Structure formats: structure tokens, C-alpha cells
Structure 1
Amino acid sequence: MVSNRPAPEAPFVPSQRSADTFVYGGARTEDEGPWEEWNPTAESVRPPRGKHRVAKQRGGGGFARSSTVLGVGVIAAVSAGGMASANTGKAPVSISLPDLPDVGSLISDDEPAEDTAPTLSSFGSVTAPQADDTAPQSAADAGEALRSRIMAQVESQQTQVETQAQLAAAEAAAKAEADAVAKAEKEAEAKATAAKEKAEAEAKEKAEAARLAELATQYTLPTSSYTITSTFGEAGAYWSSGYHTGLDFAAPTGTLIKAVHSGTITSAGWDGSYGYKTVLTLDDGTEIWYAHQSSISVSVGQKVATGDVIGRVGATGNVTGAHLHLEVHPGGSASGIDPGAWLRSKGLNP
């Protein structure tokens, strides 16, 4: 609690007019004697601890009583302001004092000090602490500024996130597009390669067909009006080797036998289980054996062309019926190969 210091005691000066009341602003007579200088000290000015009063002065009692009343009013006003300040936490109260025309007019020696104490309202009005509108306004402005900065930072971060997302999406789209282009190029290349391979295969087939067609003009089947009764590699007790070593063309006896290609007759005559057999050696060294003939129409060393007659179908040797037994021996080897496959390689279909 805040309190005002009491007015200092005036020094005691003996006076001839001790019974007279000191009046503020009154005239001083010569009988009262000269003024003495008063030098206040800490002991004379400082009030006793915890007490707020002015000692009653002997002699000039009017000034003391007026000072006491004034001090009490000020203390009450200040005490009220201090309590208001402590309770509200606001700025200290303001106290206004009216102009006092004459302190002596407030109290006199004839009345007790307790009865002449003026009310607080006579010394002025104590204004209640007013709400400080500036501080909340400043706090609101600061809060709004902080909010604005936070929102700006959030918007900036959001913009950065959106920008990064857009960049990532653009990169992903570019990568996807690049992958799609690479895939399309790869597929196009694969299709081109497949088309090229297909075209090459078709060209090869056409070339082979042309070659076979050309060979077909150079090669021919060994007989006509026939039926294939036994193929190469068949197993059975009829053959001394345990399997069939050639291709059988069953046909009536006397059916013409022709040279499958141009070459030279290297053997013609009887050959045991083969019966009458003719051997035609081609230009590449391949030997063609004709067996079980009923007759031979050529001789050794004779040159023949494709389609020339070299004998007739018969049933000589180890047979069960009239047929032409044909064998193919590449390079004159002892073991032969499949005559059907060899004929097909020459463009013929037995």
C-alpha cells in the first residue's frame, strides 16, 4: 500500500500569543518575535514506522491540526488508489485536490481534530482505474501481425510443396513418356526385325522353291504308277541287316525305271538278294541303287540324263512281290540314307 509522508512538524517557537490560533495567510504582529530558520532532518521529518499522523503542536495548534487533517485525507485517498492498483493491476489512481483558500477555515482550535476531518470528496475525486485500451489494441495488432507471418509462411511452404509435387509429376510424366517412347521404339524395332526375318524367310522359301523347281527339271522320280510299301529304317526279318535300307515302290512288273538325274552307269547286273541291280553315279559322287529289276536297259560306263530309262520293275532277289527297291549312298558310302528325304531335297515328293 502506498502512503504519503505527513507534513513535517514546525519547530516550536515560544510566543507571547500562545493562546491565539495560527491562521494561514494572517498578518504577523511585532509582539510575536522574529522568525527562526528551520532545518528539517531525517529524524524530524520521518514518521514513526507504521504510523501516519502528525503530532499536535503546542502553540501554533491551528496549522498542526490542519496539517493532520490534510495528511489523513491524502493518506486515505492514496490508500484507496493503492488498493485499487493492487487489486486491478492497472495504473495508479489519479488524485485531484481542490484549491484550498484557507487551511484555517477548515478547522479551528475550538473543535476537535477528529470532528473536523474532511471527507475524501472534499479533497477531490478519486478516479477509478480505466481499462487500458492501448495495450489490448497493441496486443491484437501484434497477434494479427504474427498470424499474418504464420499464414504467409504456411502459404510459402504450401507453394513449395505444390511446386515440388508439380516438378515430381512433370519428371514422372517425362520419364513415363521417355519409357513409352523407348518401348515404342523397341517394339517398332522388334516388329521391323520380325518383319525382316519373315521377309528373309519368305525370300528364302521362295528361293528354295525356285531352286527345287529348277532341280525338279533336273531330277525326277524313279518310276510311276506306284505305291510306297516300305520306308527307310523299318525293322523286320525279311532283311538281312535287320532293318529296311531303302524305299520300296510297288508297281506292276515291267513298269519303266528312269534315271533320277544325269550321271554315269557304274554297275549293272545280278547282286544276290538284290536281284538284278543297276548303280547310277551322279556328278557329285552320290550313288543311286536300283534293285529287283526284271530287266536292265543300260551298261557300265554309259552316260544318262534325267528321265532316261535304265530298266524295268521286277521281283528278282529276296522279294515278296514286284517292286523297285531304291537306295541312296552319298559319296559311294557303304551305308545309305533315307531315299525319301533325299528325293524331297531335290524338289520331289515320293
Structure 2
Amino acid sequence: MPSNKKLLVLPGDGIGPEVVREVLRVVDWMDKRRHVSFDLSEDLVGGAAIDAYGTPLKEETLEAAKASDAVLFGSVGGPQWDVLPFDQRPERGILGLRKGMQLFANLRPAKVFDALVDASTLKNEIVQGLDILILRELTGGIYFGEPRGIETLPDGTRRGINTQVYTTPEIERIARVGFELAQKRAKRVMSVEKANVMESGVLWREEVQKLHDAEFQDVELQHMYADNCAMQLVRAPKQFDVIVTDNLFGDILSDCAAMLTGSLGMLPSASLGAVDPTTGRRMALYEPIHGSAPDIAGQGKANPLAQMLSLSMLLRYSFDMNEDADLIENAVENVLKAGIRTGDIVGPGMKPVSTTQMTDAILKELDAQAA
């Protein structure tokens, strides 16, 4: 691969720098063994940026992210910044990146590795072999709709207001991503809303169906109410392939699905923008969903596998490097089968390894696959 593929690395706070440092060892391995090179740059975001620059996201950092082919993000946040006003906290860094890069599609896979099936709180037969993808609309809906706020009524009581609102273009673009992803998987999409009680849900269902009928008849489309979907995720999750839903329901359902796998330390995510019709390029950011975990930061206890799998998603979705993405995922699976675990996923009788030791095992497995 030409080295002009621009990759911006934003380690962030807490365990972010630790797990990102380990993933960069894999990036270096791919450069040496697979001739996969990137034009790497690194900057600060979140609390680290507040300490250095006085803001959680510099304008220059945002511009660098927009000019990159992909962003590899660690995590932000920590108790030392909790005293700051809400709009100045580290989390505004990731929100600013999502908004500035216009990342409207959040992909959260929920995959259960065979070696970790016992880590789930559900029965083995329910989750074994689980591999689903939840696609959440990220920039619209009730989190951004207007009017919003808290007002005082004439009688002195108060009222909180949030507005659930979607337009045809917003629904079409997230549904299109869902159908395109499904075409590369099992060709099944479940569109989730609350059309029984919400007009925005009626519009969502109608527009998704319309797009399906016009362009994606090779994909099976079904519709489901969000409350039923939550129940089905813990009853029979393997009935799903790709779930497409709005911002609010996607927030809730993706966290529910995450726990089917047994550990947040294993789960990556991707946030994608629209494809540029001229260049074919799509802005994208990849991050683990586990957060900054300040309670274990700096102790060598962090699980780097979610960040590793975020790199795998980056290779797959931003660069169509499916073979290289498979190498990483297979290495993770084989290391877990060998009983090598960090503390969050350690089983009975196993001795937990450190963050660096886990990466050592991954690199050894990659060497074995590339031999």
C-alpha cells in the first residue's frame, strides 16, 4: 500500500495512550511484514488537550482529522477534569470530532469469540457464534432536535423538552449504509423504531422500506419495534445480522448487545461519514467502546484487544484491506483460545497477563500466520 494513506492517531486519556501504544506495535509489524504503510501523525485530544492547549479539541486537530483517511482514537475523560463546566470537559473532544467530521453512522459489532463464550451472562447456546452489527444514526434524533431545554411554567413547576426529529435524507443515508453492509454479510437488515407510537418512527419505517424497494431488493428487510428488539437481543440474538436504528434506540440497544459478549474490553466501533462523490473517500473514526478506565490507567492492566479490533475495522472499512483485517481478528481469536487473557476476561485458574504481554502474544501469533 502507498504510504500516502493518512492516519491520525489520538490516544487521549486514561488507558487510551496505553492501548494505542500497543496497537501501534501492530501497525509497525504490518509495515515490516505486510508492506502496509501509513503516513502517521499524532495529536492530543480530551483531557490531555485541555492540559496542553486549554481546550479538549483544537481547531487544528479537527482540521487534521478531516484531512486524514482515518482516525484511530483511544479514549477521553477522567476525574481530574470533572470539575470543569460541561461544555469544557474532555468528552467534548470526541463530540466535536463526530460533529466536525460529520460522522453520522456508528457501527458497533457484537461478536462472541468461542474462547469467551463463558464470559457472557447468557447461556452458551444463546450467544455461541454470535456475530451481529448494530448501526446507529449518530448526528440526528432526540439528542440534537430543537426545541430543547428546561423551562419554568407559570405555576412554578418545570418542564424538560427534547425533540425527536428526522428527515428523509437523514434516514436514507443511514439505511443505505446498513443495506450496503448487509450485502457483504448475511444480507439481512432489521430496521428498528417505534412506529406504533411515534410519527418519526412511522417516517423512519416508510423511508427505509422505500429505499429498500428501490435499490436493495437483494437484501431481506424486516421491521421491529425498539422495545421488542431489546427483548429479542437477550432472548435470541442470533436472529439478527445488521440492525439499523436511530440515535436514541441505537445508544441503548448497542450497549445491551455489548454485554452479550461478556466484556466491554473486547468491543471496537467505527463512526463513518458520507462518501465523497468525487474522490470516493469517507471520513471515519475508529475507537474502542470501553472508555478511559482511569481506575486502572498506568498499571499495565488494560485490555488492548478492543483497540486492536478497532484497527481491524479501520483496515476493513476505510481501506478495503480485508485480508489484513482478518489476520488481526484471527490472531485475537487464537490468542484467546490459548488462554492468554488480561484481568477483565481472565477465567478460573488463569493468570492474567499485562497489556504489553497481550500484545506480545498477538505479534507472535501474527508472525505464525505470516510465516
TM-score by length of 2: 0.18
| Higher strand residue share | 2
Question: Which fold has the larger relative contact order, with Cα–Cα distance below 8 Å and residues 6 or more apart in sequence?
Answer: 2
Which structure has the bigger radius of gyration? 1
